[in-house]
Structure 1
């Protein structure tokens, strides 16, 4: 344990260099509605379908561990928009473990079968964060799909997976603030600050977890038009999905470094919660709330259903088991739009664990609030 803690402390100390990296990086975006709209339109144009046929979108996962919101949110919104054929793909069919909440889904198709069904490849590959980020089967398949012409979209630390496949080399990029120094090691890359998403020659990248919302809406607009994206944005409680982002707000200082070390050591983690789930449940609200609570470092969450596995609104099958009625329930309201649910969750985290813990969760999710 102590070796792990010292390793985490070393990472925290090294991460202080992020401030100077950001200060010296070329500035590609500034405040202003006109400039932001120009950047958004350029991104949407870069993501427009290259063929007239209904697009194929593969959301890539690693069976052993894939970030929950990075995966569930794009999958749910794209299925709801119905602008493309969407398939969850992993090295092995069946179960995918989601982190940090320790939930599991059973709906992945293996990459070999996907290749058989779609020999021409996918039109888009969405890449969530994975642990580890250098799985050989994942990087080889991703590299092969890119060679066939797929537009690759790395979400949050999924950008690291994109980099492992050699697809960042020589490109402009953004990514989760914590990954910045690692991503800058790839040859010929240029970091773009103050933008939530960036596209460069068939590869798109985003900042942290919450960027999965605007980038998915931008993709939906690129494929299905602004009205389709606007209707879905209103449904989940989003007013705009432009690229504007205050990068300077996110990063490690002395207080945050200590919070990071304590969260990752997590030797006090002891609260086992359940989230009651049922068929047709909203994937987006579930992902955002469970992700936020789990990132406090105090809570481990399991899905509970008296009938066993449930089918979420998107069609993904979520593993669930009966749970003791006395166990603490994750608070979810079916009356709230997903983004409003996230805001309420953050307020509840502050009430239970304090404002500093809420602020750290917002750092991890790279979410500025509304």
Structure 2
């Protein structure tokens, strides 16, 4: 389904759903620790597969863990998809898989040490689920980012376990998978070899938690300082995330204001910071006012070696250039929200922060346009 049609279907589902999507609350906790890495199969470094689905995979869920773990330089990290070639991202951009699942199996028949599963539109795809189950059977630790947890659940790996996901999907998860204990009030949940995280922006802290499990707290702290992230604990107040009447009106108003829609172009070049790029593009593409495209003459490698496939749109009428904020990568999301507020108002910035489950001062803004 084209991205704009998918966003419209999500828009309609939000407008028709008048309930607040929260499962039974869980008591706040200070932290959850991922077990320290234990080498297997004579490997000197762990093998980490970051799994997406070629047709539609959530951008930040996939790119941020890949970028953080590659930047940490503590493992062999591979971008994996069922088919070789392009992975179409939601709500913007495209990247290329390093390797297909079949190619991964040929290279690493003993399986991955860690499998990171991004949220995908086709989260019950039979090939995807079969490969996830196979990796679990080979002893991989599984990490579902945001609603990547649906793939773990569809694979039958969460029965009797504790888990979490995006705040908005709480009721849906509870209804579909009642044998799982769904928790709130935390950025991520660790249940032995199964790890799950809350909404999109939780990809940053849970990835650092994995760095700490593999290489220790000092390395995780060094990387957090570089990224500009003050904390990667599981502490989280999910009660701050709820849709109010003003949010529905903002969403509908933005979608219906066709005359005010815009196409934003991000010029990209080799070595671009893929974490900052993903956070910026993802945020702007969630306003229901903007389409975000990348511009370059050919596919290129990002700072961490991910192959970005540009949209190759150059200087078309009505398009506006969008720049990525300077400074540590994690600050890109804060800067993107500020830019969105300037362009479309604080209510739209709040709507984006809700979708990304990102603690932000804009959550206090509930005034419809």
TM-score normalised over the length of structure 1: 0.88
CA distance in 1, matches of 2:207, 2:126: 26
Q: Which runs of no fewer than 5 residues in structure 2 stay unpaired? A: 362-369
Determine the structure 1 residue equivalent to 2:213: 222
Deviation at 1:116, TM superposition (A): 1.2
CA distance in 2, matches of 1:73, 1:6: 26
Alignment of 1:285-304 (within 5 A): 285-304=276-295
**Counterpart among 302, 305, 309 of residue 315 in structure 1:** 305
CA distance in 2, matches of 1:124, 1:267: 44
CA distance in 2, matches of 1:5, 1:84: 39
Determine the structure 2 residue equivalent to 1:272: 263
Conserved? CA contact 1:285–1:342, under 8 Å: yes
Cα RMSD between the aligned structures?
2.5
| 1:86 counterpart SS class | strand
Determine the structure 2 residue equivalent to 1:338: 329
Alignment of 1:100-111 (within 5 A): 100-101=91-92, 103-111=93-101
Change (3 A) 1:14 1:169: farther
After superposition, the C-alpha distances for 1:208-262 in whole angstroms (9 at most, x for unaligned) are: 0100000000000100111111111111111110110001001222222344556
Deviation at 1:104, TM superposition (A): 1.2
**Counterpart among 30, 34, 39 of residue 44 in structure 1:** 34
Change (3 A) 1:343 1:112: same
Conserved? CA contact 2:49–2:77, under 8 Å: yes
CA distance in 2, matches of 1:108, 1:126: 14
**Counterpart among 124, 146, 152 of residue 156 in structure 1:** 146
Deviation at 1:280, TM superposition (A): 0.5
Deviation at 1:108, TM superposition (A): 3.4
| 2:222 counterpart SS class | helix
CA distance in 1, matches of 2:260, 2:54: 24
Conserved? CA contact 2:48–2:78, under 8 Å: yes
TM-score normalised over the length of structure 2: 0.88
Alignment of 1:59-138 (within 5 A): 59-101=50-92, 103-138=93-128
Determine the structure 2 residue equivalent to 1:168: 158
**Counterpart among 168, 174, 182 of residue 184 in structure 1:** 174
Change (3 A) 1:342 1:143: same
Change (3 A) 1:262 1:201: farther
Is 1:18 paired with 2:21?
yes
CA distance in 2, matches of 1:254, 1:145: 43
CA distance in 2, matches of 1:87, 1:262: 41
| 1:331 counterpart SS class | coil
Q: Which runs of no fewer than 5 residues in structure 1 stay unpaired? A: 31-35
Deviation at 1:303, TM superposition (A): 1.1
Deviation at 1:268, TM superposition (A): 6.3
Alignment of 1:245-256 (within 5 A): 245-256=236-247
CA distance in 1, matches of 2:242, 2:95: 32
After superposition, the C-alpha distances for 1:279-328 in whole angstroms (9 at most, x for unaligned) are: 111001100011100011111111112x3222111111111225117631
Determine the structure 1 residue equivalent to 2:366: none
Determine the structure 2 residue equivalent to 1:28: 27
Determine the structure 2 residue equivalent to 1:56: 47
Deviation at 1:7, TM superposition (A): 8.7
Deviation at 1:97, TM superposition (A): 0.6
After superposition, the C-alpha distances for 1:19-66 in whole angstroms (9 at most, x for unaligned) are: 4x3xx43x2325xxxxx1xx23xx222x63353731110001101111
Conserved? CA contact 1:266–1:297, under 8 Å: no
Change (3 A) 1:263 1:161: farther
CA distance in 2, matches of 1:49, 1:15: 47
CA distance in 1, matches of 2:75, 2:10: 44
Change (3 A) 1:10 1:276: closer
Q: How many pairs were matched up?
A: 352
Conserved? CA contact 1:160–1:179, under 8 Å: no
CA distance in 2, matches of 1:161, 1:182: 14
Alignment of 1:222-241 (within 5 A): 222-241=213-232
Change (3 A) 1:353 1:64: same
Change (3 A) 1:167 1:233: same
